[in-house]
A and B are shown apart, each in its own frame.
Chain A
Amino acid sequence: MELIQQIRDKARKLLEEGAVEGIIGYEQASDGLTSRPLFAYDPSATERLIFDETCAHNLVKYLLDKKGKKMAVVVKPCDSRAINLLLNEGQIERDKVFIIGVGCPGMVETNWNHKSETLQAKCRSCQLSKPLVYDFLAGREIERQAEEETYSDITEAEAGSVATRREFWLEQFGRCIRCYACRQVCPGCYCPVCFAERLEPLWVGIRIAPEENEMWQTIRSFHLAGRCIGCNECERVCPVDIPLSLLNRKLEKDVKGLFAFQAGLDPEEPPPFATFKKEEKLEFGE
């Protein structure tokens, strides 16, 4: 309650002083059990702000809808990596964002009207005790009892033959209905015209079928290679349970291995595909 009160008090003060135009935080969802994003523009609305283990949403994405406006946003450690990513890519201005940081005990798996006791997979190996960047820390740092990141889910998915992997992914992509929720929720997906919407040249098209879905999923993940900050929102929002983390984490693992880089840790570090090392050979001999 102490943590929540600090968030509310800070938010109210920011609005009363006119320091920000609005607060992006969390409130209770209509099931009375889980949470949903809250946009508060009036000091009285800040009473609805909460923070608990159901607040998995990455609110940083919403900053891209509010460009030019000074906003405050409640940010967990993983979300702060998204802030760093967007700063690095010039999509947000640091002085237009007031970051209310929170230490995070880990988020549990939820659906509407269901709250489990199981920690989300991404939280199990999270070492961050507080956000990497913030203007105000509500509550305190939380020492994480994190598992070591071994990418065991990826090693498992890498196993088997090319043919079995093909079959697995075709089956997964076959279920995709191209709702684009994965893209819409992702802080790294902000192209004014997504490649999937282009007609000239036509990369994907409107057909909702395994071939087109494969194009969609493969290229979207690849556009996030070296940029995905691991919030796993894409997988959480997917209505047909496609294991998108198996795509993004594979790329994360390989980018780490090939280029010793992880997105969102340092807003100044050049991303791996915007730079190169002359002397590196990678697998190509020269």
Chain B
Amino acid sequence: MEYQPKVIGFLCNWCSYAGADMAGTSRMDYPQNIRIIRVPCSGRVDPLFVVKCFQRGADGVLVSGCHPGDCHYTEGNYHTRRRFALLREFLDYLGIAKERLRVEWVSASEGQKFAELVSDFTSELAKLGPRSKI
């Protein structure tokens, strides 16, 4: 059976999750590899969650929020930006390829963007192969 990457997606309730919903209602196709977890804000996503995902077998993690400047809680995604700029680099340093952690800004009307980005992410992960388990 062909390798199917396991992708965990943390989507902010107000923008990205709504965007994903829109992709669904518009019948846009995107790979089923992604498992979505709804959070109030991308700023809710603790680096702890991301590392735990990788530890438990995720091949890729997506963190998606409102566009900077449009955060439903005004500032949350500014913190997301800083946090994950550092974490991506750190995880790559520790041997978890940078490409496996994606941070994207998807608004509620960007269903197409969401579908495309999941598709792109999944095929990139398929090429990278499974994350080596301990």
> CB within 8 Å of B: which residues of A?
157-158, 162-170, 195, 203, 210-211, 214-215, 218-219, 221-222, 225, 250-251, 254-255, 258-259, 272-273, 276-278, 280, 282-286
Query: In the complex, are the beta carbons of A273 and B55 less than 8 A apart?
Result: no
Give every chain B residue within 8 A of A195 (Cβ-Cβ): 48
Known: A158-B93, A225-B86. 14 other contacts (CB 8 A): A165-B93, A166-B132, A203-B48, A219-B51, A225-B90, A250-B93, A254-B86, A255-B86, A258-B85, A273-B79, A280-B81, A283-B85, A285-B105, A286-B105
Give the number of A-B contacts (CB < 8 Å): 90
Q: Could you tell me the distance between the alpha carbons of A165 and B97 in the complex, rounded to whole angstroms?
A: 10
The answer to whether A258 touches B93, judged by C-beta atoms less than 8 angstroms apart, is no
Contact of B82 among A164, A168, A169, A272 (CB under 8 A): A272
Say what secondary structure dominates the interface of chain A.
helix
Q: Which of B43-75 contact A (CB under 8 A)?
A: 47-48, 51-52, 55, 67-69, 75
**Can you name 10 A-B residue pairings with CB atoms under 8 Å?**
A203-B52, A211-B134, A218-B91, A219-B47, A219-B51, A222-B47, A276-B75, A276-B81, A283-B85, A284-B85
Select B134's contact among A214, A277, A280, beta carbons within 8 Å: A214
A168 CB, min distance to chain B CBs, angstroms: 7
Residues of chain B lying within 8 A (CB to CB) of residue A222: 47, 51, 86-87, 90
Name the residue among B55, B90, B94 with the largest chain A CB count within 10 angstroms: B94
Total B residues in contact with A, Cβ cutoff 8 Å: 32
- B93 touching A276, Cβ below 8 Å: no
Rounded to whole Å, the gap between the CB of A163 and the closest CB of chain B is: 7
B90 contacts A250, C-beta separation under 8 Å: yes
Contact B134 A273 (CB under 8 A): no
Name the residue of chain B whose CB is nearest to the CB of A158: B93
Interface pair B47/A284, CB less than 8 Å apart: no
